[in-house]
């Protein structure tokens, strides 16, 4: 029998459903004017400027900006950010927190049970919590200081918005330092007088002209120059191209000191000096021993420009309290480089003009202050600091440092602080004996051990008893170490607020989640070239904020309105008024030096070009006259020995650079009997930290079986029965994760890499749960570098790797794509 | 020209709108009362009526069972709201977002071709999505809302248009979405409702071949 048409509706009348139907989701449209095939708009990003074709309310196509000759392929990931299935679409509140507020069951954090609320409800709750924490506890219980790589744009810079709005309500705990360069930026002011890591370096044209040898010490320029703090220009690649030619013609010798064959090494086709992981300092001490023993060091330079060489050299020569002579033979046993090769290396450095270029990896390990300090000592011994193409730099891989700067002023930013410091609802500034500023990476310690006193950079820090945290455009569930310890810590927090555009793990572990829009859903302005000051770029809004998302500006204006400060917060100005104001102020600052068109013209043209800058040599002025152009160190000279640090009395960072054994070290070091492989977690090649990991199609270009690639040596793989493309479990005493093996002899035996920024996707909220995607910070150690910087020690990490057996759990880090089993 | 609308088509349209409402907005405590086992519960009456049809017996009863389990909890409407969020408002890690693009486009992104196709249909009909519901055009609820309108517009004149819409815009991804929703843990009501919707659409699309096909 065939069923007659729609007999299944028998007995159901339309009226039975009528009362249950909500409002219509559709309405009559006003007839739209016929659209052109779209318009090419200009915008910027950490990945560079681009033009986007917008049609029918959608970003259709993206092409690199015409002034960018070396665009990164990561531009292909931009659309995947805007239209990511991981977008936060509505304000959400964790279910149990919605019910019980600060008395919620915090063990449920991370279980993904949220309730949708309206913006009004969400902002009310946010405000009520701030109010409760300020009145019930005080400013010591609130930490709003964690900030990260915000989306670009000077008006909407999310950290500024969060900090200004919160500050207008009351005081809170702040941080010092950052996760990238914590040890470097703390030690270098003692040694060379500035952070060095964020300082302009000698211009590439001078390096190309004068250097005979370039040492890349753990620095992967080609990989890291793809991204910049502001809108990146990629101008540095022009010089790398010239360097490649000079290497080919044997005009410049480039040596990459690294346990891994880097992208830069392969691009330049240059040499590698392998060194055992974390043993750069013994290698450098062996070099110093050779320079001194063979009288290759520049005594005059040391006498004129440096202090404390005589306090340091006895340590090298075995005349100080440890009585160990730091001979190349001694170094060989630790760093794995033959003693004669160490000598040859030292002689090469001294032979002719040598530029030493450090990356940031070596300071992101326990005692990370030491290799930076020791590098400066070697450079001082070579006596070339302040010469073009000589000396040492610590950031030629960052934001096109080394590209000659025009010296033009860039646009300012939306103010980070209240216009009047007293303009706060809660004026209570009593931190009850707790420190109001803590080292950036020690906040998890604070949650776990409040009241504990720690040393940091000459001060005693009393870790505050944090109850509430607010994050905006910041994903510590990517950049902080030791996930399982973080899970434990988060169970002690009463309230966590996260403002973001995508469901990061930080949002999953938060109580109130507020959807910001992406930077391409708002108008803004940015500097083109952080250090080169190449120009000013317009950031045209490409599409309206998707779903219920809002700009950071709007979100925090709403919050400020709850306590009557919205007018003070915005200064009565809207988005475009701010964009124009920053532009006009910038034009004023450049008056007489760089002519800038009026705002309307600029906005229409999309950018202002300041042209190319002029060559410059770092520390040349100091070399010319060390009295007048003294360094910013306590003495004004290069401090090989620091009295100030010596007086702190730290055992793990003393008066001069030293070798300290690590808590964990591969190649025969502590812990290597149990977990023999060193895991490095360097900056990714195809992301900006964790940004763009949620861009589905682009991520698929590098994942292995949908997992983050784990790079390892063929011998290590063979010993474990692992083949290229296999799923592997990587583990140690702190955690476990799944990743996809990439077997390559770019990696030395005992060396493995998982790039940081891989999104955390635990199987469940339980402590110890397997991470299904491959976030290296599931495995890393959460300890300070030393009592000086208390910075992150992410690169001090040993693991074991095994082939994964059985059915692998699905990846839970992202929103897609759909895999129906 | 006025289109003659059959009673059956009014019922069909109403049911699609009913599903659209359930998949676009959480139920308030007041609305949830309609679904409790009480003589006044219109929602329960509707579910019971569906359960009496052999085609929907299992699926409708699964929805009823989920509701009965739910109302035993201390905060049923909040439990339901959390279920709604988990399944429909977060992402594919957590749930089963109701967008055709996610299931049909290889890139796994929102706002892809299925969205553009729906957008074009709406535009042709002089329709737009209400600003309060700022969702992409390939959101399930928008498709269902549109289908309800299409049924009334074309009722007896052009039923083939409805059939085509169901085939081209709904049945091409709904089975995947329903499978996905079943994998979401700790969620009873909405996956059951998704199954009921699928069965309803499948039945509804089994209409006689158009005359032309018999020639």
pLDDT computed for residue B210 by the predictor:
43
Taking CA–CA distances from A92, the nearest residue in chain B reads B85
A112:B203 CB<8 A: no
How close does chain B come to A740, measured CA to CA in Å? Answer: 19
> CA A549 to CA B23: how far, in whole Å?
20
Sheet of A58-64, strands arranged across: A39-43, A50-55, A58-64
In sequence order, the 6+-apart residues with CB closer than 8 A to the CB of B79 are: B70, B73
Over residues B87-141, the pLDDT tens digits come to: 999 887 778 999 999 999 988 899 999 999 999 999 999 999 999 999 999 999 9
Taking CA–CA distances from B123, the nearest residue in chain A reads A29
Over residues A134-187, the pLDDT tens digits come to: 999 999 999 998 888 999 999 999 999 999 999 999 999 999 999 999 999 999
Burial of A103 (0-12, 13-18, 19+ CB in 10 A): exposed
CB A376 within 8 A of CB A656: no
In sequence order, the 6+-apart residues with CB closer than 8 A to the CB of B209 are: none
B89:A16 CB<8 A: no
For residues A730-747, give the mean pLDDT.
98
Percentage of residues in chain A having pLDDT higher than 70:
97
Per the model's pLDDT, the better-predicted residue between A363 and B90 turns out to be A363
Q: Report whether pLDDT(A345) > 60.
A: yes
Cα of B81 vs its chain's centroid, Å: 17
pLDDT computed for residue A1 by the predictor:
27
> CA A405 to CA A202: how far, in whole Å?
10
**What is the CATH T-level fold of the domain B7-213, as seen in this structure?**
TorD-like (1.10.3480)
pLDDT computed for residue B211 by the predictor:
38
pLDDT computed for residue B186 by the predictor:
73
Percentage of residues in chain A having pLDDT higher than 90:
93
pLDDT computed for residue A281 by the predictor:
98
pLDDT computed for residue A19 by the predictor:
83
Question: What is the number of residues in chain A?
Answer: 821
pLDDT computed for residue B92 by the predictor:
79
Per the model's pLDDT, the better-predicted residue between B26 and B214 turns out to be B26
Q: Give the DSSP letter of residue A632.
A: S
Domain ranges of chain B: 7-213
A115:B81 CB<8 A: yes
pTM: 0.96
For residues A645-654, give the mean pLDDT.
98
Q: Report whether pLDDT(A565) > 50.
A: yes
pLDDT computed for residue A739 by the predictor:
98
Burial of B194 (0-12, 13-18, 19+ CB in 10 A): buried
CB B46 within 8 A of CB A17: yes
Q: Report whether pLDDT(A10) > 90.
A: no
B109:A80 CB<8 A: yes
B 161-200 residues with CB below 8 A of A? 176, 179-180, 186
How close does chain B come to A814, measured CA to CA in Å? Answer: 6
For residue A431, the SS3 value is coil
State both tokens at A108. Answer: 């449920």
CB A771 within 8 A of CB A762: yes
> CA A94 to CA A105: how far, in whole Å?
10
CB < 8 Å to B123, chain A = 29, 32
> CA A468 to CA A493: how far, in whole Å?
6
CB < 8 Å to B186, chain A = 113
Over residues A673-718, the pLDDT tens digits come to: 999 999 999 999 999 999 999 998 899 999 999 999 999 999 999 9
Q: Give the DSSP letter of residue B167.
A: I
How close does chain A come to B191, measured CA to CA in Å? Answer: 15
Average pLDDT, chain A: 95
In sequence order, the 6+-apart residues with CB closer than 8 A to the CB of A649 are: none
pLDDT computed for residue A819 by the predictor:
40
pLDDT computed for residue A77 by the predictor:
95
Q: B202 — contact with chain A (CB < 8 Å)?
A: no
CB < 8 Å to B97, chain A = 85, 815
How close does chain A come to B11, measured CA to CA in Å? Answer: 4
pLDDT computed for residue A32 by the predictor:
59
Over residues A262-297, the pLDDT tens digits come to: 999 999 999 999 999 999 999 999 999 999 999 999
For residues A354-372, give the mean pLDDT.
98
Q: Report whether pLDDT(A820) > 50.
A: no
pLDDT computed for residue A809 by the predictor:
92
Taking CA–CA distances from B147, the nearest residue in chain A reads A26
> CA A413 to CA A407: how far, in whole Å?
18
pLDDT computed for residue A7 by the predictor:
64
pLDDT computed for residue A815 by the predictor:
59
Q: Report whether pLDDT(A2) > 60.
A: no
Q: Which of B70, B74, B80, B110 to mutate to test the interface with A (most CBs of A within 10 A)?
A: B110
Our CA dihedral for A485, A489, A491, A495, rounded to 10 degrees, sits at: -140
Q: Which of A21, A509, A512, A772 to mutate to test the interface with B (most CBs of B within 10 A)?
A: A21
Out of B26, B75, B127, closest to residue A26 by CB: B127
> CA A434 to CA A452: how far, in whole Å?
9
How far, in Å, are A240, A468, A493, A514, A558 from residue A169 at the CA level?
49, 14, 20, 19, 13
For residues B39-57, give the mean pLDDT.
91
Q: Report whether pLDDT(A527) > 90.
A: yes
Over residues B174-201, the pLDDT tens digits come to: 999 999 999 887 779 999 999 999 999 9
Over residues A469-492, the pLDDT tens digits come to: 999 999 999 999 999 999 999 999
Q: Which of B17, B45, B51, B109 to mutate to test the interface with A (most CBs of A within 10 A)?
A: B109
Residue B116, CA atoms < 13 Å, CB-side half-sphere: 11
Q: Is residue B212 very low, low, confident or very high in pLDDT (cuts 50, 70, 90)? A: very low
Which of the residue ranges A28-32, A757-761, B121-125 would you say has the lowest mean pLDDT? A28-32
State both tokens at A275. Answer: 């060194």
A697:B133 CB<8 A: no
pLDDT computed for residue A816 by the predictor:
42
A166 sits in the region (left: phi over 0; alpha: psi -120 to 50; else beta) called: alpha
B11:A31 CB<8 A: no
pLDDT computed for residue A453 by the predictor:
98
CB B109 within 8 A of CB B92: no
> CA A528 to CA A612: how far, in whole Å?
12
Q: Which of A26, A27, A88, A547 to mutate to test the interface with B (most CBs of B within 10 A)?
A: A26
B26:A116 CB<8 A: yes
Q: Report whether pLDDT(A5) > 70.
A: no
State both tokens at B44. Answer: 């329960």
Out of B82, B92, B128, closest to residue A816 by CB: B92
ipTM field: 0.94
> CA A392 to CA A364: how far, in whole Å?
19
Per the model's pLDDT, the better-predicted residue between A108 and B4 turns out to be A108
> CA A79 to CA A657: how far, in whole Å?
47
């Amino acid at each position: 029998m065939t069923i007659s048409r729609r007999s299944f509706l028998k007995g159901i009348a339309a009226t039975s459903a009528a009362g249950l139907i909500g409002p219509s989701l559709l309405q009559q449209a006003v007839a739209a004017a016929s659209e052109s095939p779209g318009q090419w708009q200009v915008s910027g990003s950490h990945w560079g400027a681009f033009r986007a074709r917008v049609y029918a309310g959608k970003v259709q196509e993206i092409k690199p900006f015409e002034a960018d000759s070396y665009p990164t392929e990561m531009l292909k990931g931009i659309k995947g950010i805007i239209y990511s299935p991981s977008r936060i679409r509505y304000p959400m509140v964790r279910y149990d927190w919605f019910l019980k507020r600060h008395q919620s069951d915090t063990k449920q954090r991370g279980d993904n049970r949220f309730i949708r609320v309206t913006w009004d409800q969400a902002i009310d709750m946010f405000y009520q919590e701030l109010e409760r924490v300020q009145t019930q506890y005080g400013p010591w219980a609130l930490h709003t200081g964690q900030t990260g790589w915000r989306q670009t744009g000077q008006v909407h810079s999310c950290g500024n918005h969060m900090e200004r709005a919160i500050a207008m309500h009351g005081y809170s705990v702040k941080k010092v330092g950052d996760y990238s360069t914590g040890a470097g930026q703390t030690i270098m002011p003692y040694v060379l007088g500035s952070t060095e890591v964020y300082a302009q370096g000698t211009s590439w044209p001078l390096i190309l002209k004068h250097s005979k040898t370039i040492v890349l010490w753990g620095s992967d320029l080609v990989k890291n120059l793809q991204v910049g703090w502001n809108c990146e220009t990629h101008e540095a690649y022009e010089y790398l191209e010239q360097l490649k030619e000079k290497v080919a013609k044997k005009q410049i010798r480039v040596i990459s000191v690294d346990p891994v064959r880097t992208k830069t090494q392969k691009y330049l086709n240059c040499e590698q000096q392998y060194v055992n992981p974390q043993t750069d300092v013994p290698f450098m001490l062996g070099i110093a021993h050779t320079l001194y023993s063979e009288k290759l060091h520049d005594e005059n330079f040391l006498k004129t420009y440096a202090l404390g060489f005589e306090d340091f050299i006895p340590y090298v020569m075995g005349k100080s309290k440890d009585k160990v002579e730091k001979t190349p033979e001694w170094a060989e046993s630790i760093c794995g480089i033959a003693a004669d090769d160490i000598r040859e290396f030292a002689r090469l450095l001294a032979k002719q003009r040598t530029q030493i270029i450090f990356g940031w990896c070596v300071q992101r390990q326990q005692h990370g202050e030491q290799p930076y300090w020791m590098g400066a000592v070697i450079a001082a011994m070579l006596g070339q600091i302040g010469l073009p193409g000589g000396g040492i730099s610590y950031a030629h891989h960052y934001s096109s440092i080394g590209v000659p700067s025009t010296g033009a002023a860039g646009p300012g930013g939306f103010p980070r602080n209240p216009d009047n410091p007293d303009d706060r609802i809660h004026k209570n500034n009593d931190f009850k004996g707790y420190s109001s500023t803590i080292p950036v990476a020690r906040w998890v310690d604070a949650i776990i051990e409040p009241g504990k006193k720690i040393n940091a950079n000459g001060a005693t820090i009393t870790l505050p008893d944090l109850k509430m945290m607010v994050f905006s455009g910041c994903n510590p569930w990517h950049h902080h170490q030791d996930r399982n310890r973080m899970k434990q810590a988060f169970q002690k927090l009463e309230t966590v607020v996260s403002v973001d555009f995508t469901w990061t793990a930080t949002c999953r572990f938060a109580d109130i989640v507020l959807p910001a829009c992406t930077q391409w859903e708002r108008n803004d302005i940015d500097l083109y070239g952080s250090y080169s000051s190449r120009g000013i770029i317009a950031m045209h809004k490409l599409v309206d904020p998707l779903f219920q998302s809002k700009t950071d500006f709007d979100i925090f204006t709403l919050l400020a309105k709850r306590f009557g400060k919205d007018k003070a917060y915005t200064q009565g100005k809207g988005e475009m008024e701010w964009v124009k104001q920053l532009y006009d102020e910038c034009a004023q600052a450049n008056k007489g030096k760089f002519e800038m068109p009026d705002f309307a013209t600029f906005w229409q043209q999309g950018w202002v070009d300041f042209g190319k800058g002029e060559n410059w040599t770092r520390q040349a002025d100091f070399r010319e006259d060390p009295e007048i152009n003294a360094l910013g160190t306590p003495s004004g000279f290069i401090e090989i020995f620091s009295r100030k640090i010596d007086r702190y009395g730290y055992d793990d960072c003393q008066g001069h650079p030293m070798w300290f054994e690590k808590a964990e070290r591969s190649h025969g070091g502590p812990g290597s009997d149990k977990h023999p492989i060193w895991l490095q977690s360097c900056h990714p090649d195809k992301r900006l930290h964790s940004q763009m990991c949620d861009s589905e199609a682009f991520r698929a270009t590098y994942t292995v079986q949908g997992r983050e690639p784990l790079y390892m040596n063929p011998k290590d793989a063979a010993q474990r029965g692992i083949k290229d493309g296999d799923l592997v479990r990587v583990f140690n005493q702190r955690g476990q994760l799944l990743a996809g093996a990439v077997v390559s002899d770019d990696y030395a035996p005992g060396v493995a890499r998982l790039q940081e920024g891989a999104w955390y996707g635990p199987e469940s909220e339980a402590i110890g749960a397997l991470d299904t995607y491959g976030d290296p910070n599931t495995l890393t150690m959460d300890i300070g570098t030393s009592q000086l910087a208390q910075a992150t020690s992410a690169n001090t990490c040993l693991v074991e790797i095994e082939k994964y057996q059985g059915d692998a759990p699905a990846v839970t880090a992202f929103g897609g794509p759909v895999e129906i089993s | 020209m006025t289109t003659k609308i059959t009673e059956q088509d009014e019922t069909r349209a109403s049911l699609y709108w009913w599903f659209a409402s359930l998949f676009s907005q959480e139920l308030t405590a007041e609305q949830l009362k309609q679904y409790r086992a009480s003589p006044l519960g219109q929602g329960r009456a509707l579910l019971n009526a569906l359960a009496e049809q052999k085609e929907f017996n299992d699926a409708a009863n699964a929805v009823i069972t989920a509701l009965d389990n739910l109302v035993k909890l201390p905060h049923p409407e909040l439990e339901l709201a959390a279920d709604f969020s988990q399944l429909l408002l977060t992402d594919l890690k957590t749930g089963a977002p109701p967008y055709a693009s996610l299931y049909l486009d290889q890139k796994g992104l929102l706002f892809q071709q299925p969205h553009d196709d729906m957008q074009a249909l709406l535009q042709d009909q002089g329709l737009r999505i209400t600003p309060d519901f700022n969702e992409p055009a390939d959101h399930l609820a928008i498709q269902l809302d549109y289908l309800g309108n299409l049924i009334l517009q074309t009722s007896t004149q052009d039923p083939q248009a409805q059939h085509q819409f169901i085939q081209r815009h709904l049945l091409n991804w709904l089975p995947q979405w329903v499978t996905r929703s079943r994998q979401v843990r700790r969620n009873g009501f909405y996956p059951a409702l998704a199954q009921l919707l699928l069965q309803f659409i499948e039945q509804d699309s089994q209409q006689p071949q158009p005359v032309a096909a018999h020639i």
